[in-house]
Amino acid sequence: MLTQFSKLTLDTDGRYATDSELKFIEDYLESANMRIQTYEKIKAHEEAILQEVDAKMHQLNENNCLYKMDEHGKEICRRDRKNAVRYSSAAMLINDLDRLRDGLLIWVQTIVRAVGYPRFVRNHYPIIQEVIQQYLTPDEAKFILPALQVDCTILGA
């Protein structure tokens, strides 16, 4: 949304915006209540979602077959997972996946590559998507899943 507003400001410099250029605002306003509801539900269930994801990742990594990490590394992953859910939820709320991608994910991708965990991420984000859907209705899930898919695609590349 913020990215679209910035683009609209540049594109319409010195003139009024056309109806088609303003369409994204109408679309957003139509979905705003559902976005807020989804955001609030994720916020309310954040701890349970994160604990379930952690348990599933632990089960998936039985015998360190997926990754080897000490307790400090696992704690960093838990923190990063929490931040990913929060930033993805915020991007969903304001409907700005470009800002999520350009403002956070490209930077985090550099770190993921540097520590050698793209494979971890490729397994991790589908689990987040799976778990989060258990806490949302299908109508709510359709708003957050694109943000989580962007996370997975960029960080797992």
Torsion sign over Cα 70, 71, 72, 76: positive
Query: Residue 122: inside a domain, yes or no?
Result: yes
Tell me what pLDDT residue 3 has: 85
Cβ-proximal residues to 121 (8 Å cutoff; 6+ apart), any chain: 112, 152, 155, 156
Query: Residue 77: inside a domain, yes or no?
Result: yes
Query: Residue 17: inside a domain, yes or no?
Result: no
Number of domains in the chain: 1
For residue 124, the 8-state DSSP code is: H
Query: Residue 92: inside a domain, yes or no?
Result: yes
Query: Residue 18: inside a domain, yes or no?
Result: no
Determine contact, residues 94/5, Cβ cutoff 8 Å: no
User: Mind listing the pLDDT tens digit for each residue in 57-113?
Assistant: 888 777 765 666 677 877 877 888 898 899 999 999 999 998 888 888 878 777 777
Tell me what pLDDT residue 66 has: 60
Query: Residue 19: inside a domain, yes or no?
Result: no
Average pLDDT, the chain: 87
State the CATH number of the domain containing residue 103: 1.10.490.20
Q: Label residues 79-118 b or e (16+ Cβ within 10 Å = b).
A: ebbeebbebbbebbbbbbbbbbbeebbeebbeebeeeebe
Tell me which of 13 and 113 has the higher pLDDT.
13
Query: Residue 25: inside a domain, yes or no?
Result: no
Q: Which residues constitute the domain of residue 45? A: 32-155
SS3 157: coil
Residue reference for tokens 């994801």: 53
Query: Residue 45: inside a domain, yes or no?
Result: yes
